[in-house]
Amino acid sequence: MNRPPVNSLNTEHLEQLHRALVRLENEKCRGMILSSSSPTVFSAGLDIREMYKPELEKARKFWRTLQDMWLKLYSTPYPTVAAIHGHAPAGGCLLALSCEYRVIVPNVKIGLNETQLGIVAPQWFQDCMRNVIGERQAEKALIAGHMFNTEQALQVGLVDEVAADKAACIARAEAFLASQANLPLLARKTVKLGFRNSTLSRLMTGREADTKIFIEYIFQPKVQKGIELYLQSLSKKSG
C-alpha cells in the first residue's frame, strides 16, 4: 500500500487494491505480502472523510468497493501474509486479519477500535477477528474497541510472529510463503476456502442488507457529529 500519509482506504485506493488482487489471481501468483510504504503505519483503516457528510451514491459506492476488495482478499487462491510494520487500526486490522499469516514489528498497535470511535465494526469485520483469536477474546476486544500492542497481539494469537524491524518482517513473511510453496495448489486452496466459506457467504448473501445498514448508520446526525469531532481531533493532533 502506498497512499501517504497513512494508507487510509478511500474508494480509489480500495479500487486499486481490488484491481491488484484480480491481476495477481489472473497471473496465477504464488503468494502475496501485504505491506506498507509508510515506516510507521500499516493502514489507518477506512478513510474517515468518505463517511463524513457524503453524497448517498458516493457512500454506497465506497461501501460496495470495500466489500468487493475484502471478498477478493479473504478468498485468494494463493497464500497471503500481512507484514505489519506499522499501526493497523480498524480497517487496517481487517486487512491484516484477512491474510493467512501475520508478522508484526515491536511498538505497533493493532485492533478493531471502532467502538471507541462511537461506530460499530460490521459483522464481517467481527467474524474475521473471531476466526483468528476465538469467540471469547474477540467479544472482549470488540466490545472494548481494544487496540493490542505487539506483545498482546502475539499472546492472543492476533499475529503469528514478531520480527525486529521492517526488513526482518518482510523476510519472515517470505519464509511463510516459502513454507507453502510445495503444497499442492488445489488442495491448499480448497481447505482455505472451506475454513473461510461461512464468513464469505454471510457477506455475499447479505451484501445489500450490509450496505443498507452502513448507510442508515452513518447518515444518523449523532453519528455524523461523532465523525466530525473525531476528524477534528485527528487534525488537531497533527496541527
Ligand X SMILES: CCCCCCCCCCC/C=C/C(=O)SCCNC(=O)CCNC(=O)[C@H](O)C(C)(C)COP(=O)(O)OP(=O)(O)OC[C@H]1O[C@@H](n2cnc3c(N)ncnc32)[C@H](O)[C@@H]1OP(=O)(O)O
Q: How far is the CB of 217 from ligand X (least distance, A)?
A: 4
DSSP state of 111: E
Spatial separation of the C-alpha atoms in residues 24 and 38, rounded to whole Å: 22
Q: Which residue is nearest to ligand X (CB)?
A: 45
The footprint of ligand X on residues 22-81 (CB under 6 A) is 40-41, 44-49
Our CB check for ligand X shows the closer of 30 and 212 to be 212
Angle between helices 185-204 and 123-133 (to 10 degrees): 140
Take residue 38 and report the three cell numbers written for it: 509508510
**One of 6, 83, 103, 104 touching ligand X (CB under 6 A):** 6
Measured N-to-C along each axis, helices 56-74 and 91-98 cross at an angle, to the nearest 10 degrees, of 30
Instruction: Let me know the angle formed at the C-alpha of 162 by 159 and 166, rounded to the nearest 5 degrees.
Output: 110
Mark the segment that binds ligand X (CB under 6 A) among 71-79, 162-170, 179-187, 231-239. Answer: 231-239
Among the listed ranges 29-37, 97-105, 110-118, 130-138, the one in contact with ligand X (CB under 6 A) is: 110-118
Catalytic residues: 46, 91, 113-114
In the complex, least distance from residue 133 CB atom to ligand X, rounded to whole angstroms: 18
In degrees and rounded to multiples of 5, residue 86 shows phi and psi of: 175, 170
Shortest Cβ distance from residue 128 to ligand X (Å)? Answer: 12
CB of 106 to ligand X, least distance (A): 15
Single residue of 1, 3, 8, 172 touching ligand X by CB under 6 A: 8
Nearer to ligand X, 190 or 232 (CB): 232
Residue with Cβ nearer ligand X (6 or 82): 6
Amino acid present at 231: L
How many angstroms separate the CA atoms of 115 and 137, rounded?
A: 15
- Judged by CB under 6 A, the residue of 29, 71, 117, 193 near ligand X is 117
Cα separation, 23 vs 46, whole angstroms: 23
Q: Looking at 183, 217, 220, 228, which residue binds ligand X (CB under 6 A)?
A: 217
Nearest of 131, 51, 64, 62 to residue 94 by alpha carbon: 131
Residue 197 backbone phi and psi in degrees, to 5: -60, -40
> How far apart (Å, rounded) are the C-alpha atoms in residues 92 and 117?
15
Q: Give 5 or 157: the residue with its C-beta nearer to ligand X.
A: 5
For residue 88, give the 3-state DSSP assignment: strand
The residue (of 179 and 220) whose beta carbon lies closer to ligand X is: 220
Asked if residue 214 binds ligand X (CB under 6 A), the reply is yes
Q: Which residues pair with 123 in a beta bridge?
A: none
Q: Which residues are near ligand X by CB under 6 A?
A: 5-6, 8, 40-41, 44-49, 87, 89-91, 113-114, 117, 119-122, 213-214, 217-218, 234-235, 237-238
